[in-house]
Amino acid sequence: MCVTCGCGRPDGPAHHHPHGPLTETITLEQRILAKNDHLAGHNRAWLAERRITALNLMSSPGSGKTTLLERTLRHFRGRRPVAVVEGDQETTLDADRIRRTGSPVIQVNTGAGCHLDAGMLHDALSTLDPPAGAVLFVENVGNLVCPAMFDLGEAAKVVIISVTEGTDKPLKYPHMFAAADLVLINKIDLLPYVDFDTDRCAEYARAVNPTVRTLPVSATGGAGMDGWYDWIAPA
């Protein structure tokens, strides 16, 4: 009997097994996102060489990422070089808004993709070529789940939640808030009109991310924005 397959043929020189080849188990033991993380590492090194601080801004659609950036870019004009990568599924609308502030910007359209990944940022960086020492703002696709999983090579992840979204969001979207280095609570000018508890929201954020800092701001009115600027570039 053939010892390798038990097919009943006599022992002898190697023969074919027309009834089905043997399978082989290959051990991989690697992170699923190894390729993304590898590219993110490249981005991080590339940015560090140029002393560029990259911030990955994430929120659900409409929390105010672009509005916050418009004001922030105007603040840093003349103080610090800036550059922006805009991620959206479709359109260049956000990049057009940013361009009007006079800042260098590149739009990345992800099509059906619901997040930016390290490869997309890599390509965007080689086109945008931000100046040395810049603050690079990356506006991720509006989505409170998927972008949290993909390291881009950024220095920090900033999560924005607006007061119209509900106090409980950090508990409902724990992955995003667990990944955050800073949580901005935006649209606080609307607090008189909505049922939102800023302190409790901050508590919920700390329940999933004990050391995370929260900053209440109004991107349209300007309240609290100095704290955000200080966080970006401590005086």
Ligand X SMILES: Nc1nc2c(ncn2[C@@H]2O[C@H](COP(=O)(O)OP(=O)(O)OP(=O)(O)O)[C@@H](O)[C@H]2O)c(=O)[nH]1
Q: Residues interacting with ligand X, by CB under 6 A?
A: 59, 61-67, 94, 142, 186-187, 189-190, 218-220
Q: Which is nearer to other proteins, 73 or 124 (CB)?
A: 124
Facing residues of 108 across strands? 87
Provide the residue count of the chain: 235
6 counts as binding other proteins under rule CB under 8 A = no
Of 23, 3, 19, nearest to 11 by C-alpha is 3
Determine which residue in the list 70, 94, 154, 165 makes contact with Mg ion, applying CB under 5 A.
94
Binding mask 209-228 for other proteins (x = CB under 8 A): -x------------------
60 counts as binding Mg ion under rule CB under 5 A = no
C-alpha 97/C-alpha 192 separation (Å) is 28
Q: How far is the CB of 66 from Mg ion (least distance, A)?
A: 3
Name the token pair of 16.
Answer: 């074919």
- What is the bridge-based pairing of β-strands 82-88 and 156-162? unpaired
Q: How far is the CB of 46 from other proteins (least distance, A)?
A: 22
C-alpha 177/C-alpha 159 separation (Å) is 7
Q: To which residue do tokens 């916050």 refer?
A: 68
26 counts as binding other proteins under rule CB under 8 A = yes
Q: Is 23 exposed, middle or buried (0-12, 13-18, 19+ CB in 10 A)?
A: exposed
Contacting other proteins within 64-103 (CB under 8 A): none
Site for other proteins, rule CB under 8 A: 21-36, 113-115, 117, 145-146, 148-150, 171, 174-175, 178, 206-208, 210
Site for Mg ion, rule CB under 5 A: 65-66, 94
